[in-house]
Amino acid sequence: MKCHLIIGSRLLISSVVLILLVNLSSQPGTNTTDGHKNKMNFYGTVTLNNVSTAAPEQSKLNVENISIGRLFQHIPVNFKPNDPDSRPVNIAYLDLVEIAAIEPIQKEGRAVIDKFAGREYVEIKVTSNDSAHTEQNYIIERNRRVFCDQVNEAGHIKSEFQFEGITKLEIHGYKQRDENKEVKCVSSNALTGSQEIMKEIEETSSNMQKAEPGQIEQLMTKLNNLIKQLKDSLYSIFSMS
């Protein structure tokens, strides 16, 4: 009976670890085309529109890792057609490195939504960061979102904003991401912690072979807590990579 319980416990632990690895590998945070962390870290502010806050200044957030539709360059936008039945065919491609601000066009406190050939777009004003602060109006697909991380001392908060939900996106600058440094940090710190937790899981599983029936429940509780710690540790690795 005890032997079957131990074998079952080990299989369960192995399965849980495998599931965690598979699930966490699809979480945001990897430098892939899913958009997670681009090689250039753009930072600035996002001012929210029509939100309830304790103070007006709380609607302006410091953010970094800014992208639009998971892109920081070659971002497609359209010139607004005159005919609402026509499809927008003229395209411009924006690079965040050349932009100072993007503001949805407002009318009576709401973003202007246009529909062309059955698809919805938000009107935006783009201000370049040249000496003349050149401005140009475009339309962008309504479902295109701003992805970023809110800057917070306790840890960055991953966020998504629709253009109709903000009044202004400001780009203050960018930092080149040091990918080698980040990989080193993951391998030398977070990975070591995960290995220690897994070692403790193995020891606890081994102790179950010698445990009295009354101790099994206590050891299983310890295993559950260790698995939770392992999940948190693995998540930190995948979010840094």
Q: Residue range 130-138: average pLDDT?
A: 95
pLDDT at residue 180 is higher than 90: no
How are the residues of the chain apportioned to helix, strand and coil, as percentages rounded to the nearest 5?
Answer: 40, 35, 30
The lowest-confidence range among 40-44, 89-93, 207-211 is: 207-211
Separation CA 182–CA 180 (nearest Å): 5
Annotate 215-228 with b (16+ C-beta within 10 A) or e (fewer). eeeeebeebeebbe
C-alpha closest to that of 98 among 73, 68, 129, 135: 129
Q: What is the pLDDT of residue 71?
A: 93
C-alpha closest to that of 42 among 69, 67, 77: 67
Q: Is 230 helix (H, G, I), strand (E, B) or coil?
A: helix
What percentage of residues in the chain have a pLDDT greater than 90? 46
Q: What does the block give as tokens for 204? A: 């606890």
Task: Parse the chain into domains and list their residue ranges.
Answer: 40-177, 178-241
Q: What is the pLDDT of residue 203?
A: 82
Q: What is the pLDDT of residue 133?
A: 94
Q: What is the pLDDT of residues 66-98, one digit of tens each?
A: 999 999 999 999 999 999 899 999 999 999 999
Mean pLDDT across the chain? 78
Q: What is the pLDDT of residue 201?
A: 83
Q: What does the block give as tokens for 143? A: 């479902």
Q: What is the pLDDT of residue 56?
A: 57
Q: What does the block give as tokens for 46? A: 């996002």
AA identity, residue 185: C
pLDDT at residue 143 is higher than 80: yes
Element (H, E) at 122: strand 119-128
Give Rg (Cα) of the chain.
25
